[in-house]
Amino acid sequence: MTAQLQDEDEATPLQRRLARMIRAQGPISVADYMSDALGHPQEGYYMARDPIGAEGDFTTAPEISQMFGELIGAFLVQSWIDMGEPSLFNLIELGPGRGVLMADILRTAQQLRPEFIAAVRVYLIEYSGRMRHEQRTRLKDAKPDIIWATKLAEAPPGPTLIVANEFFDCLPIRQFLKGEDGEWRERLVTTADDGSDALDFTLSEAPVPAHRLFPAHIVEAPEGSVFETCAPAADVIDEICARLAPYKGRALIIDYGHARSGLGDSLQAVRGHHYWPPLKAPGHADITAHVDFEALVRAAMTSGALVYGPTSQGDLLERLGLNARAEALLR
Ligand code: SAH
């Protein structure tokens, strides 16, 4: 960690705002904390800065290699062909970051099948004005029309392909902890005892009805176990499935996470490419949680979708032709 980052112990404006609110109204859930830390309209992490890349706090697969977007572009062209090559369709990206993935996808599609580009309407679902500006700059020469929206619901119905890289790990999670008395309580965020604006974890006074909320094997977990839920992720999956169902559309979801619902505290923050305490300097550090792919699969199957995976990113890219593409680029 650099000296500059360590020195910054002063409370951020968002931290002061949260501390005031907690003192007035009581502790808040981890989900409410995460939601404000990332998405508060003025002070949220994604609103005020450009966090991605070497200069920022973290980097992502499309930023590392153009092959990532090219292979996904090829997958999307094939998916469009499998849909019967509709002459008008939506390509929706959730959380497009700096627009690198979409730029690579569109360039590849143009090379593989110009008809794809003639038929596509691109929707970028992005809630940060700052990130939209980055996307607009990067995609200014893109051929198809690009339309920005803050919510998936704003894109019109119709044949649709959806892609999301490192979007679901930003969605707010709730955390629950099993205590020594065998009861589960929700982990909450409160102000520290010293009267400062420092934030700290605490637990809900009342236990939660775990047997009604969690799978049986989770309820029986040992003392000290942490369980995480992410209702917004299931909601997005429901929306995606409802949208895809009438048209045999496809969604490709790529993220950090686990294939089976399990136990463990996965809330993490990064700043300047280093881990960072999640409750420190909210608004100035990225906060994510691992995606529970089993929960996503369950939500998708409940909606009647066909689910492939989850599989590892390496496996997916290899099957899409990573090695052949790497050799071609080397030549
Ligand atoms: N997909 C990109 C960026 C990942 S960072 C990449 O791979 O490089 C997450 C992105 O999702 C950012 O652009 C952030 O502003 C956006 N985002 C996060 N939560 C969001 C939400 N609830 N609604 C809309 N956009 C969101």
- pLDDT tens digits, one per residue of 190-239: 999 898 999 999 999 999 999 999 988 899 999 999 999 999 999 999 99
Q: How deeply is 48 buried, as exposed, middle or buried, from its count of CB atoms within 10 A (0-12, 13-18, 19+)?
A: middle
> How far apart are alpha carbons 327 and 70 in whole angstroms?
14
Instruction: Please choose, from the candidates 190, 220, 221, the residue with its C-alpha nearest in 3D space to the C-alpha of residue 205.
Output: 190
Report the chain's mean pLDDT, rounded to a whole number.
94
Pocket test for ligand 1, best of 34, 162, 170 (most atoms within 8 A of CB): 170
Burial (CB count within 10 angstroms: exposed 0-12, middle 13-18, buried 19+), residue 78: middle
Ligand 1 first shell, C-beta below 6 A = 39, 46, 52, 60, 62-63, 95-97, 101, 125-128, 131, 165-167, 170
Query: pLDDT (tens digit, 9 = 90+) per residue, 142-154?
Result: 988 899 999 999 9
Ligand 1 mutation pick, 32, 46, 59, 66, max ligand atoms within 8 A of CB:
46
Q: What pLDDT was estimated at residue 6? A: 43
Q: What is the pLDDT of residue 79?
A: 97
Q: What is the pLDDT of residue 8?
A: 61
Digit-coded pLDDT (tens) for 117-144: 999 999 999 999 999 999 999 999 998 8
* CA proximity to 127, closest of 44, 58, 53, 52: 44
Minimum mean pLDDT range among 5-9, 58-62, 274-278, 279-283: 5-9
* Model pLDDT, residue 330: 83
Asked if residue 20 has pLDDT above 60, the reply is yes
With CA atoms as reference, report the closest residue to 207 among 178, 248, 172, 236.
178
Phi, psi of 72 (to 5 degrees): -70, -35
pLDDT surpassing 90 at residue 270: yes
Q: Is the pLDDT of residue 45 over 70?
A: yes
Residue 183, pLDDT > 60, answer: yes
Would you state the pLDDT for residue 101?
A: 98
Q: Identify which has the larger pLDDT, 319 or 49.
A: 319
Looking at the predicted structure, is the pLDDT value of residue 305 above 60?
Answer: yes
How far out from the chain centre does Cα 253 lie?
9
Question: Is pLDDT of 258 > 80?
Answer: yes
- Average pLDDT on 297-326 reads 93
Q: pTM of the entire structure?
A: 0.95
